[in-house]
Amino acid sequence: MSIAGRMAPTLITGGAGFVGTNLADRLLAMGRPVLIFDNLSRAGVRENLRWLQDQHNGSLEVEVADIRDADAVNRAVAKAGAVYHLAAQVAVTTSLQDPVQDFQINALGTLNVLEALRRHQPAPPLVMTSTNKVYGNLNDLGLRQTAQRYVPAQPAIRANGVSESRSLDFHSPYGCSKGAADQYVLDYGRCFGMPTVVFRMSCIYGPHQFGTEDQGWVAHFLIRARAGATIEIFGDGCQVRDILYVQDLVNALVIAVDEADSLAGHAYNIGGGPANTLSLLELLALLREQRGLRPATRFSPWRNGDQRYYVSDTRRFRSATGWKPTIGAPEGIKKLAAWLDELDQSTASAAPAMAVRQ
């Protein structure tokens, strides 16, 4: 379908991934055209793309290209009325194995997007998804350990989580590459007057997530448990994260573009907040309670860059927009499990060919 005669599409880099699929689905349902830019390298993304095209009857435009290709990025940005930059290398472990590739995708890829936007002034709004890893290991947080979780000693951290006032402390090549991208996005906004917003995200989960032990741990645990496979836990399992159901993240992403003029120039912590926290051991207990799943576990040493405790203080974004999570952890995990059940029950017939524009 040609974009002629339509409003300019919203460009989503990495748009066939987990978050991008849910975001594209929402925007298309709202009647907003979408251009997905993705190299289709990650497991599950082709299935996501087929699902999107089935749902939206071929109304989706797709560019199969790599974020490291500056010319391809420039051509895609030239069409866009708004940009969500989600394309990334997402695992600390992978960054330790190949730091150069990690830098090229996360830092240089983001710079390609920013330069393309700078060439096409007035630049459309840009929302870039960063990570809580920009705050480092958080080893200075005073923690006490209970049977199933770590608990911060500081009442303010217990009540609210980690705020954006926390000093940046990049740790691991992944932390450095995403941190550099995070800062470039904010500085391009400042230097070139571009409406840029950064989301420093915690753990997102939900449908269309094919989680692994390196990224997407909630889905990974559920997938492994349903298969009766052993789950490997790095550390002691008491590490705590706040988790956010993907539809709540999509709500925030839509708001960020729609209100970019007032939000621009800032980074916002986005996650489930203190009301939606789980340790790894607590998630296993919840899977036993909800689904009767009792997977075998194997414990391995802590990995480089692991945080024992991270919970997002989301008050800055909530104060600016009124946004807050609406789906709690138990409900969200039931929804993810239901999606996995539906996936299992889907027919094994050959998928239709994808309409892809090169």
Give per-residue pLDDT as tens, 138-168: 989 999 999 999 999 999 999 999 999 999 9
Q: Report the predicted TM-score, pTM, of the whole model to 2 decimal places.
A: 0.93
Tell me the mean pLDDT in the region 328-354. 76
Residue 273's identity, in one-letter code, is G
What pLDDT is stored for residue 347 in this prediction? 39
What pLDDT is stored for residue 3 in this prediction? 39
Domain chopping of the chain, boundaries: 10-345
What pLDDT is stored for residue 6 in this prediction? 62
Q: Which of 306, 268, 293 is nearest to 185 (CA)?
A: 268
* H-type alpha helices, 193-279: 217-226, 246-258, 260-263
CATH number belonging to domain 10-345: 3.40.50.720
Angle subtended at Cα 117 by Cα 115 and Cα 119, rounded to the nearest 5 degrees? 70
Tell me the mean pLDDT in the region 41-53. 93
Tell me the mean pLDDT in the region 322-336. 97
Angle subtended at Cα 338 by Cα 39 and Cα 49, rounded to the nearest 5 degrees? 20
What pLDDT is stored for residue 2 in this prediction? 35
| Higher per-residue confidence, 91 vs 352 | 91
Q: Nearest 10 degrees: CA dihedral of 291, 218, 257, 175?
A: 170
Rounded Cα gap, residues 256 and 185, in angstroms? 14
310 belongs to the catalytic site: no
Do β-strands 196-201 and 126-131 pair in parallel, antiparallel, or remain unpaired?
Answer: parallel
Largest CA distance in the chain: 61
Per-position DSSP letters for 66-79, written without gaps between them: -TT-HHHHHHHHHH
Average pLDDT, the chain: 92
Give the percent of the chain with pLDDT over 90. 87
Residues 135, 174, 245, 310: which is the catalytic one? 174
What pLDDT is stored for residue 355 in this prediction? 38
Give the percent of the chain with pLDDT over 70. 95
Q: Residue 268: which pLDDT band, with cuts at 50, 70 and 90? A: very high
Tell me the mean pLDDT in the region 118-139. 94
Q: Residue 215: which pLDDT band, with cuts at 50, 70 and 90? A: confident
